[in-house]
Amino acid sequence: MNENSAVIEISALNKWFGNFHVLRDINLSISQGERIVICGPSGSGKSTLIRCINRLEEHQEGRIVVEGNELTHDLKNIDAVRREVGMVFQSFNLFPHLNVLDNCTLALIWVRKMPKLEAESLAMEYLERVKIPEQARKFPGQLSGGQQQRVAIARSLCMRPKIMLFDEPTSALDPEMIKEVLDVMVDLADTGMTMLVVTHEMGFASQVADRIIFMDEGLIVEQNTPEEFFNNPKSDRTKLFLSQILSH
């Protein structure tokens, strides 16, 4: 891997929740345009890892550098990183008191200082990309889970991030809505966006990922291309995980 083109550089990362060691000596380098799927059993630290990248969680040891900004207590750096990084949550976290369009334009208007009309036309552009422009005036509470998650993706994309983080984006959805969200994510991958996706959707992983990272108990156990990962897993832990997740 070419070190110079790394957009995220994580080295010797350690994090504890109280006495519980959630992330243990994580080293990870992600280059521009790379699509990474992180999987592993629950409690393995995969969500915590991507939440460290935009500082929703604070790490205690090691370095995280995103687009040349190292994450420290310096609020300016944190702001700079959050400008480049968009995030989609398992539970959507749309703002329920604002309609879909206002959800998308809020940060454009207040953070990017964009005029309202310009922000709205940009937001409509992205709502069209996630295929729900007709819902722009509705409130999140009136939409289905799949529609809400697509709005959440549009809201992040409006900020024109260079990196997108997805934290189990389909885990809270009914089975028939998973596909509409995954379709949007596949489209996004085709545009060359750098993506880190925590998910159990192995179909998506094999179709889109450049690299699959398998985590367990706070460690990166194994990382490989999808073909190698699925067909030729190296560690016993990975084999066990795959046999369980693919058997049903």
Partner 1 sequence: MTRDNNSHSDKANPGIKPPPANTVGIIGWIRKNLLGGWVNTLLTIISIYILWLALPPLFDWALLNADFSGSSGKECTTNGACWAWLDQRINQFFYGFYPPESYWRVNLSLILLLPALAYILFENLPYSKYGRWFALSYPIISALLLLGGAGLEVVTTDKFGGFMLNLVAGLAGIILSLPIGIVLALGRRSKLPLIRMFSIAFIEIIRGVPLITLLFVAVIIVQLFLPPGVSLDQLVRVMIMITIFASAYMAEVIRGGLQAIPNGQYEAAQAVGLGYWRSMRLVILPQALKISIPGIVNTFIGLFKDTTLVIIIGLFDILGQARLLQTNPDWMGKVDHETFLLAALFFFIICFSMSRYSINLEKRLDTTNK
Binding residues vs partner 1 (CB under 8 A): 54-56, 75, 79, 82-83, 85-87, 89, 91, 93-97, 99, 106-107, 110-111, 139-142, 152, 155-156, 159
CA gap 4, 115 in Å, rounded: 36
User: CB-wise, 110 or 239, nearer to partner 1?
Assistant: 110
What's the min distance (Å) between Cβ of 139 and partner 1? 4
Which residues on neighbouring strands pair with residue 15, listed in sequence order?
A: 23
What's the min distance (Å) between Cβ of 3 and partner 1? 28
Q: Write the DSSP assignment of 93-134 as a string of letters.
A: ---TTS-HHHHHHHHHHHTS---HHHHHHHHHHHHHHTT-GG
What's the min distance (Å) between Cβ of 102 and partner 1? 10
CA gap 85, 3 in Å, rounded: 20
> What is the Cα 244 distance to its own chain's centre?
24
Residue 136 and residue 124 in contact, taking contact as beta carbons nearer than 8 Å: yes
User: CB-wise, 70 or 79, nearer to partner 1?
Assistant: 79
Residue 22 and residue 46 in contact, taking contact as beta carbons nearer than 8 Å: no
Q: DSSP 3-state assignment of 56? A: coil
User: CB-wise, 18 or 141, nearer to partner 1?
Assistant: 141
What's the min distance (Å) between Cβ of 146 and partner 1? 18
User: CB-wise, 111 or 245, nearer to partner 1?
Assistant: 111
CA gap 217, 220 in Å, rounded: 9
What are the backbone angles phi and psi of residue 9, rounded to the nearest 5°? -130, 110
CA gap 8, 52 in Å, rounded: 11
What's the min distance (Å) between Cβ of 156 and partner 1? 7
User: CB-wise, 167 or 222, nearer to partner 1?
Assistant: 167
What's the min distance (Å) between Cβ of 216 and partner 1? 25
User: CB-wise, 78 or 219, nearer to partner 1?
Assistant: 78
